[in-house]
Amino acid sequence: MSSHTPSPVKRLTAPEIYARKGGTPLVSLTAYDAPMAEILDDHCDILLVGDSVGMVVHGLPNTIGVTMEMMILHGQAVMRGARRAFVVVDMPFGSYEGEPEVAFANAARLLKETGAQAVKVESGPTVARTIAYLTQRGIPVMGHIGLRPQAVNVDGGFRAKGRTPEEREKVLQEARDTDAAGAFAIVIEGVAADLAGEITAAVKAPTIGIGASAACDGQILVVDDMLGQFDWSPKFVRRYAALRETISEAAAAYAKDVKSRDFPAPQETYFAK
């Protein structure tokens, strides 16, 4: 009898993502653990281990407190669950804004210790040089422009970008610089539809929108927002489920059965032989 080992599933690559510019829109969601990554893997081109994990999973008020260790832990979990999707890990605040050599050491650590295929950085005014430094040394980089969550303290909160002529030109220039530096894709967050369309037309890399209209080359959402696990979500989120209510109802039913001793029932109980 001969045994047959199934062929391993081939993961998507950075060049394949880059080649999707102007084609079938890229489907992306965040993932923070192995079970969710396994579920999403069949449906997503890109899974982002976002630093949003600090808020979504760890209850932090923003992403500033997220550490390298947190990103590595969740990146490892997602890689255990995903087989086909291209996995990107966010570089946390403070890990890449200084000298490019430090950014490279941190990015290399993320990829080595997680097995992920790329990192994402928020493309502030000084980051293009770092993106070029990383890509030239074999690290695929996804950029992030517009509303940048790691800049929350400078901006005084989470607010849409590009609403004034000066700010609009600044966001557009950051997009051009990120593209020229070699990013294989660029997340655009929290900008008006016309600006998102202008950016998408101006850059060679595919754009992935979050609150940036259907003009982009793909879309991403925080998976917990999309699944309705919070009682509030941003304007740009469409809820495709209502898991908060479902989980609450299930927990209430369980509590009721425990208190009435209806659970566990005989079919859920072990007995002596």
Q: Would the CA dihedral through 206, 141, 73, 50 be positive or negative?
A: negative
Do 48 and 157 reside in the same domain of the chain? yes
Residue 154: phi and psi, rounded to 5, are -70, -40
| 169 assigned ligand-binding residue | no
Q: Which residues contact 124 (CB under 8 A, 6 or more apart)?
A: 97, 148, 151, 174
Residue 207 resides in a domain: yes
Q: Residue 144 above 70 pLDDT?
A: yes
Element (H, E) at 244: helix 243-259
Task: Establish how many alpha carbons lie within 13 A of residue 255's alpha carbon, considering only the half-sphere containing its beta carbon.
Answer: 6
- What is the per-residue pLDDT across 66-102, written as a single tens digit (0 to 9) for each? 999 999 999 999 999 999 999 999 999 999 999 999 9
Work out how many domains the chain is built from and give that number: 2
Averaged over 135-140, what is the pLDDT?
98
Cβ contacts of 122 within 8 Å, gap of 6 or more: 143, 144, 145, 148, 149, 150, 151
Question: 215 and 110 share a domain?
Answer: yes
CA gap 254, 129 in Å, rounded? 55
In a domain, 78, yes or no: yes
User: Do 249 and 162 belong to one domain?
Assistant: no
Residue 90 annotated as binding site: yes
Catalytic residue, from 97, 189, 198, 249: name it. Answer: 189
124 and 152 within one domain: yes
Kindly state the tokens that stand for 177: 């610089």
Locate 81 and state its tokens.
Answer: 């669950």
Comparison of pLDDT for 7 and 99, the residue scoring more? 99
38: in domain: yes
Q: Do 271 and 169 belong together in one domain?
A: no
Say yes or no: 78 and 186 in one domain.
yes
Q: Any binding-site annotation on 262? A: no
Residue 3 lies in a domain: no
* 136/158: higher pLDDT: 136
Tell me whether residue 4 is in a domain: no
Assess whether 138 and 257 both reside in one domain. no
| Co-location of 166 and 248 in the same domain | no
Pairing of strands 207-210, 86-90: unpaired
pLDDT at 1: 46
Element (H, E) at 37: helix 34-40
Structure letter (DSSP) for residue 266: G
Same domain for 175 and 136: yes
What is the structure's pLDDT at 246?
A: 98
Q: Is residue 153 located within the same domain as residue 262?
A: no
Shared domain check, 254 and 165: no
Using the predicted structure, report yes or no on whether residue 163 has a pLDDT greater than 80: no
CATH code of the domain containing 140: 3.20.20.60
Taking the C-alpha atoms of residue 193 and residue 106, their distance in angstroms, rounded to an integer, is 34
DSSP bridge partners of 26: 218
- 259, 225: one domain: no
pLDDT band at residue 153 under the 50/70/90 scheme:
confident
235 annotated ligand-binding residue: no
Burial category of 159 from C-beta neighbours within 10 Å (exposed 0-12, middle 13-18, buried 19 and up) = exposed
Asked whether residue 233 is assigned to any structural domain, the reply reads yes
Is 42 known as a binding-site position? no
Q: Is there a catalytic annotation at residue 189?
A: yes
Range of the domain at 258: 244-273
Has residue 118 got a pLDDT over 60?
Answer: yes
The model carries a pTM of 0.93
